[in-house]
Amino acid sequence: MIAPEAARARRRLAFALTLASVVLAVAGVMVGSEGWRPGALADPGLRDVLWNIRAPRTVGAWLVGALLGLAGALAQGLFRNPLADPYLLGSSSGAGLGVVLVLAAGATQGRAIESLAEDALARLGLVGAAFVGALIGVALTLALARGARQSTGLLLAGVVVGVVLGALADLVTMASPEALRGKQVFMLGTTGFLGWGACGTLAIALAITLPAAWRFSRALDALTLGEDSARSLGLPLGPVRALLVVLLALATGAAVAQAGLIAFVGLVAPHLVRRRLQAPHGTTLVASTAAGGVLLLASDVLSRGLWAPQELPVGVLTAALGGSFLLWLMHARRTS
């Protein structure tokens, strides 16, 4: 049974997040370099902008933020560490390496014999390469840590894989400077290029990861008691944790592949939720998902509106805002 007070807090949070999502979605359709004017829907040119650019961008930003929020909550639950973020397990450097390899292969095309492998790479595209790279990064981490039984080992393996894959990517870019440029363009966190196609992919990723994470969230609750206690509860800790890591990788990989590296959303969203709500992980996961969506969409709307008609890359904004928020949170905790 849930205490009435907790239920109220839950309802309040759900209401606030829904309201914020709706308000921001409306703002997302109205804000942009071409502005807004009454009767915009009657103007076919502007209608095209609203429907084909702003709307998918708005939905896409929410979805990317949601995936990152979910991944962040998963990571913090898995590692029982409030500073864990979605990129901890080598997914970002894996994605970076994937992108660099495809770009370097593309750059050598014409010089080298056009091999089947290169052709396949070209067809896979950068988005696919980033996604596959992210998954491979996490798989390597899992292999290095010999599964997901121990969170310290996993964390350490994640750091090692991140550094090594990052160094490999640097090595490739030394040989193929074109790839460096392309990687930086690709990995820069931005929501500006999200179309309806990207929204579809992101929605599918969220539809797979969120219910599955919810279903296995009990393991995270058990983990808060410590690994030994969790094991004594009879939970198959290893397999469940491996599954959660895979979900984490899927969510992060999908987000990185579509929008590059967006800092701090995954880290901050669960904190935001936990400040309002003491609840089992299932609730926290869902709430963090929505909070992540709201955070990134808010940043996106701000990044479009602050300097209109120019715009700020949203990754820059989330890093600045999220960083300040985290500092404030730490400060508030220390003084209380």
Pick the piece of the chain touching other proteins (CB under 8 A) from 77-85, 285-293, 305-313, 321-329.
305-313
- Residue 261 three-state SS: strand
Pick the piece of the chain touching other proteins (CB under 8 A) from 2-10, 69-77, 190-198, 289-297.
190-198
CB of 230 to other proteins, least distance (A): 44
- Residue 2 three-state SS: coil
Q: Tokens 């460096």 map to which residue?
A: 180
CB of 309 to other proteins, least distance (A): 6
When asked if residue 236 is in the footprint of other proteins (CB under 8 A), the reply is: no
Q: Which of 188, 208, 243, 246 binds other proteins (CB under 8 A)?
A: 188
Site for other proteins in 88-147 (CB under 8 A): 107-111
Site for other proteins in 143-182 (CB under 8 A): 174-175, 177-178, 180-182
Q: Which of 4, 37, 309, 335 binds other proteins (CB under 8 A)?
A: 309
By beta-carbon proximity to other proteins, the closer residue of 46 and 321 is 46
Give the x/- contact pattern for other proteins in 45-74, rule: CB under 8 A. Answer: xx-xx--xxx--------------------
Q: In angstroms, rounded to a whole number, what is the distance separating the alpha carbons of residues 223 and 230? A: 5
Q: In angstroms, rounded to a whole number, what is the distance separating the alpha carbons of residues 258 and 107? A: 22
Residue 307 structure tokens: 């300097």
CB of 275 to other proteins, least distance (A): 33
CB of 52 to other proteins, least distance (A): 6
Q: In angstroms, rounded to a whole number, what is the distance separating the alpha carbons of residues 303 and 226? A: 41
Site for other proteins in 4-43 (CB under 8 A): 32-34
Give the x/- contact pattern for other proteins in 263-292, rule: CB under 8 A. Answer: ------------------------------
When asked if residue 239 is in the footprint of other proteins (CB under 8 A), the reply is: no
Q: Which of 310, 334, 335, 336 binds other proteins (CB under 8 A)?
A: 310
When asked if residue 195 is in the footprint of other proteins (CB under 8 A), the reply is: yes
Count interface residues toward other proteins (CB under 8 A).
35
Q: In angstroms, rounded to a whole number, what is the distance separating the alpha carbons of residues 244 and 254? A: 15
Q: In angstroms, rounded to a whole number, what is the distance separating the alpha carbons of residues 81 and 303? A: 30
Q: In angstroms, rounded to a whole number, what is the distance separating the alpha carbons of residues 218 and 280? A: 8
- Residue 188 three-state SS: strand
By beta-carbon proximity to other proteins, the closer residue of 104 and 286 is 104
CB of 252 to other proteins, least distance (A): 20
Helix 55-79 / helix 151-175 crossing angle, nearest 10 deg: 130
Kindly write down the DSSP assignment for every residue of 34-80, as one continuous string. Answer: T---TTGGGSHHHHHHIIIIIHHHHHHHHHHHHHHHHHHHHHHHHHT
Sign of the C-alpha dihedral, residues 78, 79, 83, 84? Answer: negative
Pick the piece of the chain touching other proteins (CB under 8 A) from 21-29, 73-81, 251-259, 304-312.
304-312
Q: In angstroms, rounded to a whole number, what is the distance separating the alpha carbons of residues 280 and 87? A: 24
Q: In angstroms, rounded to a whole number, what is the distance separating the alpha carbons of residues 32 and 311? A: 9
β-pair partners for 109: 112
259 touches 202 (CB < 8 A):
no
By beta-carbon proximity to other proteins, the closer residue of 58 and 92 is 58
Residues binding other proteins (CB under 8 A): 32-34, 45-46, 48-49, 52-54, 107-111, 174-175, 177-178, 180-182, 184-186, 188, 190, 192-193, 195, 197, 309-311, 313
